[in-house]
Amino acid sequence: MPDFGERLEAVFAQSGRLCVGIDPHSFLLEQWGLPDTAEGTREFGLRVVDAADGTVGILKPQVAFFERHGSAGFAALEDVLTAARAASMLVIGDAKRGDIGTSVEAYGQAWLTPGSPLEVDAVTLAAYQGVGSIAAPIALAQANGKGVFVLAATSNPEAAEVQTAVLSRGPFDGRTVAAGIIAEVDAINAEEPGLGSVGVVIGATIELIDYGISVGELLDTPILGPGFGEQGAAFADLSSIYGLAAKNVIVTVSRSVLRAGPAGIAAEIEKQAAELAEATA
Amino acid sequence: MPDFGERLEAVFAQSGRLCVGIDPHSFLLEQWGLPDTAEGTREFGLRVVDAADGTVGILKPQVAFFERHGSAGFAALEDVLTAARAASMLVIGDAKRGDIGTSVEAYGQAWLTPGSPLEVDAVTLAAYQGVGSIAAPIALAQANGKGVFVLAATSNPEAAEVQTAVLSRGPFDGRTVAAGIIAEVDAINAEEPGLGSVGVVIGATIELIDYGISVGELLDTPILGPGFGEQGAAFADLSSIYGLAAKNVIVTVSRSVLRAGPAGIAAEIEKQAAELAEATA
C-alpha cells in the first residue's frame, strides 16, 4: 500500500495542488437555494463533489458545518465522503480534533480506519496537548496509508500569541510553539522516503520568519495552506510565502469558489485550477 | 435565565462536585458485555446516566468514543444527552473543539444552541488558535445560559512543553501559554457576578507553579479537573493542588467508576461521591 505522502505526490502530478473546501455555511446554503438542514448540507456537498470531479484532486470538507446538524449532519457528511472517494478524489477531513490517550486514538479510528463510516484520506489535528498526545492517530495513519495535518501557524491573527510563544523546555527549547511542532513533524517524516504522511497547517497569510520556521524543516512535509482567495493570499505569492517548501503546499480555496453558486462553481473551479497551474508552472 | 456559573453553583450546593465521565472505550464495552457498536455506546451511556441519577449532578460524555461510530454513534450520543438532560443533570460535552471564524461558530451552534440535537450545558474547547478564535462560541454560551471549558494546563505529561511556552507578544507577554489563557478567561468572567460561564481545564496531576498560574486569577472561574482516580490524584489533595480555587473544581472521574461494570457502577459512584463530600467538608 502506498503511503499518504506518495499518494499526495501522485495527485499533485496528475491533478495539481488545488483543494476545494466543502463549507456549507448557512449563508451559502441560502445563496445556493438550499435549506439550512442536514439535507441541505448533503445536497451542497454532493454538488461540490460533482463540480470538482475531473478538475481537482483534493477536497476538504469542514466538519463543523455538518456537526451543526447533529447525527443527521454526520449522515450527510458520510454520503459526501462516499461520493468523493468514489470519484477517486483525495479527501481531507477538516476536523481539528485533539485529545489524549484512548480518546485521541478513538478520533483517529473514526476518521482513518479503512471502512469506517467517516473514512477520509487525512484529517486535521490540533496539538495543544503536545505532538506526543497525537501519537496514536499518527501511528494509525501510517499503518493505513493515511495522513494527518497538525495545526502549526494558522492564518487567523488572534493565533499569533500562542503560536509564537517560546518553548522553555524539551528538545526545541528556545524555538516557537509553531516551529517546535514543525521540527517534531519533520523528525517523524524523515523516517520515510519522499513526502511524509504527517503534514502541517501553515496559513498563507503569515510570515514564516515571525514564527522562526525554517523552510529546510518543511521539505519532506505536506503543507495544508489556507488563506488564499477571500483571506487575501494570491497564488502568485506561493514561493515568496513558503520558499522552497512551496512545492509541498495544498492550496485550499473555499468561499472564493463556493460563492459562485451551483450554476457557476464548476467554471470557477476550472478557472482557479488553471490560474494555479500557471502560477506554479 | 440564570447563567452557567449560577447553574453550576446550584448543582455544587445540591449534589456536590463529582462529575462522572461517560467513556465507552471498546475495552469497557467488552467488560460490560456490550457490543463495540453505536448501539453498545448508547446502552452504555444510558446505564451510566441511570447509575448517576440521584447521586451526582454532572456528567461528561467523551465525544470521541461516539464519533468513532460515525453518524450512528452521534445518534446514540443524542439519546444519551436527552436522557441526562431529562434527569436534570448538567452535561459537559467533552469535545475539545476549536477552529476559527464561522467554523468555530458552527461548533458552538452544534453544542450550545437550545433545541439542537447535540445540546449540552457546556462544551470543552481548545484554543491553539488563540482565545480570540473561540469568541463566537463563548458569546453563544453567554447568550444561552451555557458554558465552555477551555484547555489550559492538561494532565498529560507530553502537554507541558506547549503549555509552559512563554508568550512573547500581547498583553500577557512573559507569562506561559496556560497562564495567558487563564488570564484572558479571568478577564471575561470578571464581567459577571459570582462564578463565570467560561471555565478552564486544569489537570489534577500538574503543579500550578510550573505553569506560573496564579490562583487569584481562578477564583471566579469554573475548573474542570481530570486526573483523579486512575491518573493518580486523590480527592484529599484538592486544596493542595488548586489552593483557594479548589472550591470551583468539578472533580471528574471516569475509568475508576466505569470499570465497576453495570452491576457495580451505581454503588461505586455513591462511594466516590461520599468520599469526595468527606474530603471537601
In this predicted model, what pLDDT tens digit does every residue of A147-168 receive, in sequence order? 999 999 999 999 999 999 999 9
Region A125-141: what's the mean pLDDT? 97
Sign of CA dihedral B69, B70, B76, B78: positive
Which region among A233-242, A258-267, B222-231, B271-280 has the lowest average model confidence (pLDDT)? B222-231
User: Residue B253's pLDDT is what?
Assistant: 96
Chain B residues in contact with A172 by the CB 8 A cut-off are 161
* Chain A closest-CA separation from residue B246 CA (Å): 23
Confidence bin at A53 (pLDDT 50/70/90): very high
pTM, rounded to two decimals: 0.98
3-state helix, strand, coil in chain B (%, to 5): 50, 15, 30
Nearest by CB to B133, from A129, A156, A164: name it. A156
Name the residue in chain B with its Cα closest to that of A27: B102
Nearest by CB to A177, from B101, B102, B162: name it. B162
User: Residue B66's pLDDT is what?
Assistant: 98
Residue the block writes with cell 466516590: B272
Distance CA A63, CA A30 (A): 19
Start-end of H helices in chain B:
4-15, 26-31, 38-52, 63-67, 70-86, 101-112, 135-143, 160-163, 177-189, 238-242, 255-258, 261-279
Q: Is the Cβ–Cβ distance between A128 and A181 less than 8 Å?
A: no
- Through-space distance between the first and last CA atoms of chain A, rounded to whole angstroms: 30
Name the residue in chain A with its Cα closest to that of B133: A158
Which residues, 6+ apart, have CB-to-CB distance to A193 below 8 Å?
Answer: none
Nearest by CB to A65, from B62, B106, B126: name it. B106
Q: Show the cell assigned to A223.
A: 503543507
Chain B residues in contact with A104 by the CB 8 A cut-off are 64
In whole angstroms, what separates CA B258 from the centre of its chain?
17
Q: Is the Cβ–Cβ distance between B130 and A159 less than 8 Å?
A: yes
Chain B residues in contact with A23 by the CB 8 A cut-off are 102-103
Selected for mutation to probe chain A from B129, B182, B184, B202 (highest A CB count within 10 Å) is B129
Ranges of each domain in chain B: 4-279
Region A242-250: what's the mean pLDDT? 97
Region A189-211: what's the mean pLDDT? 95
Q: Is the Cβ–Cβ distance between B76 and B62 less than 8 Å?
A: no
Can you tell me the ipTM of this complex? 0.97
Residue A223 pairs with which residues in a beta bridge?
A: A200, A249
Selected for mutation to probe chain B from A96, A112, A168 (highest B CB count within 10 Å) is A96
Residue the block writes with cell 470519484: A87
Percent over 90 (pLDDT), chain A: 96
Cα angle vertex A175, ends A169, A180, to 5°?
80
Residue the block writes with cell 462553481: A265
User: Residue B207's pLDDT is what?
Assistant: 95
B4-279: CATH architecture:
Alpha-Beta Barrel (3.20)
| CA nearest neighbour of B123 among B199, B66, B218 | B199
Q: Is A130 left (phi over 0), alpha (psi -120 to 50) or beta?
A: left
Chain A residues in contact with B77 by the CB 8 A cut-off are 71
Distance CA B48, CA B34 (A): 13
* Tally of CB atoms within 10 A around A74: 24
Hey, are the CB atoms on A128 and B99 less than 8 Å from each other? no
Secondary structure element (H or E) that encloses residue A77, with its range: helix A70-86
Q: Is residue B271 among the annotated active site residues?
A: no
- In this predicted structure, the answer to whether residue A29 has a pLDDT above a threshold of 90 is yes
Chain A residues in contact with B97 by the CB 8 A cut-off are 64, 96
Distance CA B209, CA B207 (A): 5
- Please pick, among B60, B96, B247, B271, the residue that the annotation labels catalytic: B96
Cα angle vertex B228, ends B262, A108, to 5°?
75
Chain B residues in contact with A166 by the CB 8 A cut-off are 165-166, 168
Distance CA B95, CA A68 (A): 13
Q: Coil, strand, or helix at residue A194?
A: coil
Nearest by CB to B98, from A65, A72, A126: name it. A126
Q: Is the Cβ–Cβ distance between B9 and B2 less than 8 Å?
A: no
User: Residue B231's pLDDT is what?
Assistant: 78
User: Residue B272's pLDDT is what?
Assistant: 97
Hey, are the CB atoms on B116 and A72 less than 8 Å from each other? no
Distance CA B75, CA B246 (A): 36
Which residues, 6+ apart, have CB-to-CB distance to B129 below 8 Å?
Answer: A151, A154, A156, A158, A159, A162, B98, B99, B100
Q: Coil, strand, or helix at residue A97?
A: strand
User: Residue B1's pLDDT is what?
Assistant: 83
- In this predicted structure, the answer to whether residue A216 has a pLDDT above a threshold of 90 is yes
Task: Give the burial class of A44: count Cβ atoms within 10 A of its Cβ; 0-12 exposed, 13-18 middle, 19 or more buried.
Answer: buried
Task: Give the burial class of A115: count Cβ atoms within 10 A of its Cβ; 0-12 exposed, 13-18 middle, 19 or more buried.
Answer: exposed
Start-end of H helices in B169-260:
177-189, 238-242, 255-258
Active site residues of A: 96
Considering chain A, what is the average pLDDT of its residues? 97
pLDDT per position as a tens digit, A163-193 = 999 999 999 999 999 999 999 999 999 998 8
Residue ranges for chain B with pLDDT beneath 70: none
User: Residue A46's pLDDT is what?
Assistant: 98
* Chain B closest-CA separation from residue A14 CA (Å): 31
* Chain B closest-CA separation from residue A100 CA (Å): 7
Tell me how many residue pairs between chain A and chain B have CB atoms under 8 A apart.
Answer: 208
Q: Show the cell assigned to B139.
A: 458569546
Distance CA B90, CA A155 (A): 35
Residue A18 pairs with which residues in a beta bridge?
A: A251
